Chains A and B, each alone.
Chain A
């Protein structure tokens, strides 16, 4: 070691080191921003669904932000079995009720299969089950299928935008934000 600093703290060296570390933080910020999803990816996050011709009781699958979206127009039979709590999960357009949810199991992300004969969903990965409103009925999934942000526009649904009905679902805990 240079003996002129024997016994004395290298203050200026520490100052230089500290200042350099500040620059390093700046560089890390730029690096973090480089990892951010690109604007074009975020802009593609809106899809319009036309629900006017959806047949009842038939599962329709659409795509939003790369994820499958389940649409199930509830039949009269299904509606007779829907509990008061589960009513909050459905979207009412005119006289029709629709289940619209992200078709990825809330356990670990597989796509649950729809069983028309029992009007429910069974996830092949670990056996989780959901009813016709996509509320969970058998473990291991921790909650019902998540409902994407939506806005009602006449007979159309715009996914990606937050309408008042969606905001209400968030507030009363019907769904978590997706």
Chain B
């Protein structure tokens, strides 16, 4: 029994030590920020209902800067030209209806810079009424594909500013497969791509104030809670940040987080599968060790 008492003391001190160094200290360093459960409470609910047919005509203006691949509508400028003109490449709108919160999307159309809470925002203010905005949102909802992959969600919501090098994703899309000249080892296609990417990133860093970080392993560098509340409202975690509020809905948030987890913690499935097996092994090992100990100590006490 004395040994159990000693064990208890050791465990107690260890747990106290853990508590102070981890949960307690971290709670003091990072004040808990409560999310809004994707309600976007600061935006008033819409008073009108949108009509997709009416929205189609009103959305024609979008193609002045944006592509809509699902409708085979290209953007007027390519990524490099857009970057030079606006600072960043406007996103393709095919998934806007699927991944953006309706209320947010409508308010955004009426006041892009204000609703995203950015100091400056490349998309200019509009003269849309609430009905116009609701119609456009309804239109985009009607054309959005039903199946959205995690990678599509990331591409739409994040990748014009953020790279994810662990998935070979850059701000200019996926890294191309190129071949070097066999005589000189010079890969001109790769150098061309890298020059364009560098030019884009320089412009982006000027536009945003700094280069938005690569998100490959962000899921390990910040907690899931932080990322959730940050994506929902960047200002709540990093006041003054240049990152615009994105306005994702529940599906958008889930898919983006799934992508981040895929590139940042890809071993999670196998880890959760192997863990129970290893622990079971050691449980049996300890039981056998206990029996061996008892047999070796017989007659000694």
- A-side residues, CB < 8 A to B, are 2-5, 10, 12-13, 15-16, 19-20, 22-23, 26, 47, 61-63
Contact = CB atoms under 8 A, between A and B. Distances in A.
A13 B285 contact: no
Contacts of B288: 12, 15-16, 19
B284 interface: yes
Contacts of B300: 2
Closest 4 CB pairs of A and B: A16-B288, A12-B292, A4-B299, A4-B298
A23 B281 contact: yes
Contact of A20 (B179, B182, B285): B285
A12 B296 CA distance: 10
Given A23-B285, A26-B281, A16 B292 contact: yes
A22 B284 CA distance: 12
B295 to A, nearest CB: 5
Given A4-B299, A16-B285, A20-B285, A61 B182 contact: yes
Interface of B: 179, 182, 281, 284-285, 288-289, 291-292, 295-300
A20 B285 CA distance: 7
Contacts of A63: 182
Contact of A62 (B182, B281, B296): B182
Nearest to B298: A4
Nearest to A13: B292
A15 B288 CA distance: 8
Given A5-B295, A15-B292, 13 more contacts: A4-B299, A12-B291, A12-B292, A15-B288, A16-B288, A16-B291, A19-B284, A19-B288, A20-B285, A23-B285, A61-B182, A62-B182, A63-B182
Contacts of A4: 295, 298-299
14 contacts: A2-B296, A2-B298, A3-B299, A4-B295, A4-B299, A10-B295, A12-B288, A12-B291, A15-B292, A19-B284, A22-B281, A47-B179, A61-B182, A63-B182
Nearest to A1: B296
B267 to A, nearest CB: 12
Contacts of B289: 16
Nearest to B288: A16
Contacts of A16: 285, 288-289, 291-292
A15 B291 CA distance: 10
A10 B285 CA distance: 16
A61 to B, nearest CB: 7
A22 B281 CA distance: 9
A137 to B, nearest CB: 27
Contacts of A3: 299
A19 B179 contact: no
Contacts of A23: 281, 285
Contacts of B281: 22-23, 26
Output the residue of A5, A10, A13, A15 with the most chain B CB within 10 A: A13
Contacts of B284: 19
Contacts of B179: 47
A3 B291 CA distance: 17
A61 B183 CA distance: 9
Nearest to A60: B182
A63 B184 CA distance: 12
Contacts of A19: 284-285, 288
A61 B295 CA distance: 71
Nearest to B281: A23
Nearest to A43: B177
A10 B289 CA distance: 13
Nearest to A8: B295
A26 B280 CA distance: 13
Contacts of A10: 292, 295
B203 to A, nearest CB: 30
A9 B184 CA distance: 71
A3 B299 CA distance: 9
Given A47-B179, A62-B182, A12 B285 contact: no
Output the residue of A12, A20, A63 with the most chain B CB within 10 A: A12
